[in-house]
Structure 1
Amino acid sequence: MGGSSETKILQELILYAASAALSCLVLFAGLKHLDPNREASKKALEHKKEISKRLGRPLIHTNPYEDVIACDVINPDHIDVEFGSIGGLETIKQSLVSNLMSKWFGDAQKLVAAVFSLAYKLQPAIIFIDEVDSFLGQRRSTDHEAMANMKTEFMALWDGFSTDPNARVMVLAATNRPSELDEAILRRLPQAFEIGMPDRKERAEILKVTLKGERVEPDIDFDHVVRLCQGYTGSDIFELCKKAAYFPIREVLDEERKGRPCPVPRPLSQLDLERVLATSKKTQVAAGEYSGLRVSREPDEVQAAISGISKLLVSQFINLQSDSQGSWQREPEEDS
């Protein structure tokens, strides 16, 4: 009798242990799939292996937030042009930039801290912030609390690097609107360099970098195309090449609609580039026209608003007059 009781207790213990183990396994798998940074962690592991191999040291230990930032770390070996050229700078600016904003409250500050802690672990390193005015612009009373906390956290960690003699981390920023930067940020950026419009030689370099690896006709007169691109920025030239590449694809689609399938698109030609140049506008010209259109519309909108308010006031005044006259005419009838 005692033996059967012990056996039953042992079976129940084994059942409970198996149930607990299965519950833990299901819970672990569920939490792993619910982790918003799961895919980023996988990519970060590959980046860490690559960086560790380049630096010749073992894998660094990172937290989940540093893993998210590690996905956007740019390995210098992947920059296939000289940094001193405009083409090289444009290649870097087109690379991925870490997205510090998160839908989870409080994660933004943790991601900001991860930027600096990961840079410290990978030093020497450069923290590059493109369009810094959108992130570290002037602080206003209307700013969201999360954005204000993120700016404060960023500047506090930045100051920590400035006072640490062992830190070999540089913060580099780029903007088209330096006047929009917060004064505290400008104090932390002691050196400023203006990157003007690319000249003819630099436009040719940008064009070569953009079209590198693409199928182009060998008889393209790049000097002629570069002359037509006078006043174009690096971004304008990139958009020029992208729009020109649509023409061969459209021709393939047109042939397929006619029942004549085409195996591959034809190479990019000089005519494609010239067709885009004939219809496109430089960024500065388009921005100027848009600003002028807004300025010209504003007086008309103000005048329309004033006219609407005036009509409303006149109609209200007429209604009040008619009501007062009607009541005055009814009063003698009541006395009679």
Structure 2
Amino acid sequence: MVWLGETLQKLGSAAVKMAQNTSRNNKSTIFEVSYLGLSLLGSWLILRWALKQMDPTKKNVETAKQRKKALSKRLGRPVNTDGQYEDVIAQEVVNPAHINITLQDVGGLDHIIEDLQRNVITPMRRPELFRTSLLRQKRGVLLYGPPGTGKTMLAKALASECNACFINLKASTLLSKWYGDTNKLIAAVWSLAAKIAPTILFIDEVDSLLGHRRAVEHEATTAMKTEFMQLWDGFESASDSNIVVLGATNKRDDLDDAVLRRFSLQYEVRLPQRAQRETILGLLLARHARELGAQYLDPTLMAEVEGRARGTAGPGAAAAGAGAAAGAGAVTGAGAGGASNPGAANGTAAPTGGSALRALAERTEGYSGSDLTELCSMAAAIPFHDAAPTQSSPAPLSLRHFEAVLAAYTPPSRAAQETQAAKRRGGRGVADLPAREDSMRVLAAMFNSMLGSQQQESEEEGSV
């Protein structure tokens, strides 16, 4: 019995020792596994941080996230963007409440505005009424005409009037050096526009993005145009989407035929006629007096401006903004129409003869709206420039200040108008005639020299 007790005691001691060794081994294994896991986690976090620091789009992504939050706050509703591509497009979204231009700030285009009210603004405001095959929203509006005639301003006013989100599409936003990213960005444009509808997609100088598809251009450019047109009005486009593409260009003929077909409304914004120029001048001076005070405008001009304001009629001739442009417009497309008389379209009674504004309007033939704005700006600066050395009160803006500017001012848009006129004539302009004559003389001298050398060689061979 003693032997059995000793044996059991030895076995118990051996079991305790084995258990202690196993426990130490397990602790060592657990420690090693934990250390390895923490090392891998730390390495992954460090690598992730390093990749983020080296990411060239890091700043854009962070800016896009901030703009997304700000966009949701401005719109008063959450906007859930999917992926980095919609985040990039979200940077170009403008809240209509932040657009400080309305249709009342556009003068001289009442017939175009009336047509837009009927075919664009009403369907965007009341989309539930336009769900049939005939009653439907127009998908594209094209504004074309000479530079400086107010196409961009009219686009902003249209977005403000429709209370629609405004997405300004630019080549720097849509084009990417990575193959396939451009198509994904274009798809993100339409998916984001559907989420924040009603939406106006504005493309300034649309001919640069959606011009003719040519065999010599890069395949990525052709794929970009095709992707945009398919989502615009193709098999995958939704018929009830409240999205309008608004384009502006001064080279309508450079647009692709399929793009022109999708612009169902096309408006030509021409240079303003005398009545429109008179209206723009009066309204720009009225804004100048309203911003600084009536004492900064000559009493004669002030009386005429106030008289025109009291005699103004029509919704679209009430004001003109800085950079405002007006012009007689021609309308084409479905549902297009309008007044043919520029004076009637402007909705403003012509002033009596001998007025200062009429004299200025007659002397500014061929000026665009932006040219007239620059003219008024330069004339308004003269009294302040004269008063700066003596620190006295500036004199009121008068007709003599306009005379001083007109004596030396050349409107910037005139060069563009002359270039376009030369292209329509098939030439390159009068300024290029001396250069072309010199080139012809050089070619003639080279040709005569070649003939002389050949004749001399033939004479030498005959003598031999």
Contact 2:212 2:256 in 1 (8 A): yes
Partners of 1:268 and 1:29 in 2: how far apart?
63
Contact 1:66 1:114 in 2 (8 A): yes
Match of 2:223 in 1: 149
What TM-score does the superposition give when structure 2 sets the normalisation length? Answer: 0.54
Q: Which deviates more, 12-21 or 213-222?
A: 213-222
Matched, 1:282 2:354: no
Partner SS, residue 68 of structure 2: helix
Partner SS, residue 129 of structure 1: strand
Matched, 1:25 2:160: no
Partner SS, residue 279 of structure 1: coil
Matched, 1:77 2:97: yes
Partners of 1:22 and 1:313 in 2: how far apart?
80
User: By how many angstroms is 1:173 displaced?
Assistant: 1.0
Match of 1:331 in 2: none
Contact 2:284 2:376 in 1 (8 A): no
Match of 1:258 in 2: none
| CA deviation string 1:186-218 (max 9, x = no partner) | 111111112222423245556778999799983
Q: How does 1:6-85 map to 2 (within 5 A)?
A: 9-83=29-103, 85=105
Contact 2:152 2:204 in 1 (8 A): no
Partners of 2:176 and 2:381 in 1: how far apart?
35
Matched, 1:303 2:440: yes
Matched, 1:102 2:176: yes
User: By how many angstroms is 1:153 displaced?
Assistant: 1.0
| CA deviation string 1:276-332 (max 9, x = no partner) | 554342244213555514652563365155236426635764796699799x6xxxx
Q: How does 1:173-192 map to 2 (within 5 A)?
A: 173-192=247-266
Q: Which deviates more, 207-216 or 275-284?
A: 207-216
User: By how many angstroms is 1:76 displaced?
Assistant: 0.5
Structure 2: which amino acid aligns with 1:285?
A: R
Partners of 1:2 and 1:323 in 2: how far apart?
115
Structure 2: which amino acid aligns with 1:282?
A: P
Partners of 1:250 and 1:91 in 2: how far apart?
30
Rate the CA distance shift 1:177–1:306 in 2: closer, same or farther, 3 A. same
Contact 1:125 1:170 in 2 (8 A): yes
Partner SS, residue 171 of structure 1: strand
User: By how many angstroms is 1:63 displaced?
Assistant: 1.8
| CA deviation string 1:49-95 (max 9, x = no partner) | 34434544323233211111111112100112313542796447689
| CA deviation string 1:160-209 (max 9, x = no partner) | 48852331111111111211111111111111112222423245556778
Contact 1:137 1:182 in 2 (8 A): yes
Partners of 2:457 and 2:93 in 1: how far apart?
71
Unaligned runs of 5+ in 1: 256-261, 329-336
Rate the CA distance shift 1:205–1:178 in 2: closer, same or farther, 3 A. farther
Structure index of larger Rg: 2
What is the aligned length?
318
Q: Which deviates more, 148-157 or 287-296?
A: 287-296
Matched, 1:232 2:367: yes
Question: Higher helix share goes to which structure?
Answer: 1
User: By how many angstroms is 1:154 displaced?
Assistant: 0.9
Partner SS, residue 173 of structure 1: strand
Structure 2: which amino acid aligns with 1:110?
A: K
Match of 2:212 in 1: 138
Partners of 1:146 and 1:210 in 2: how far apart?
49
- What is the percentage of aligned positions where both structures have the same residue? 34
Partner SS, residue 193 of structure 1: strand
Q: Which deviates more, 73-82 or 198-207?
A: 198-207
Partners of 2:380 and 2:53 in 1: how far apart?
40
Partners of 1:12 and 1:178 in 2: how far apart?
72
Partners of 1:80 and 1:111 in 2: how far apart?
29
The structure whose RCO (Cα within 8 Å, separation 6+) is larger is 2
Partners of 1:5 and 1:314 in 2: how far apart?
104
Q: Which deviates more, 277-286 or 176-185?
A: 277-286
Partners of 1:277 and 1:239 in 2: how far apart?
11
Q: Which deviates more, 185-194 or 2-11?
A: 2-11
User: By how many angstroms is 1:106 displaced?
Assistant: 2.5
Structure 2: which amino acid aligns with 1:296?
A: L
Partners of 2:445 and 2:32 in 1: how far apart?
83
Match of 2:339 in 1: none
Structure 1: which amino acid aligns with 2:444?
A: S
User: By how many angstroms is 1:111 displaced?
Assistant: 1.6
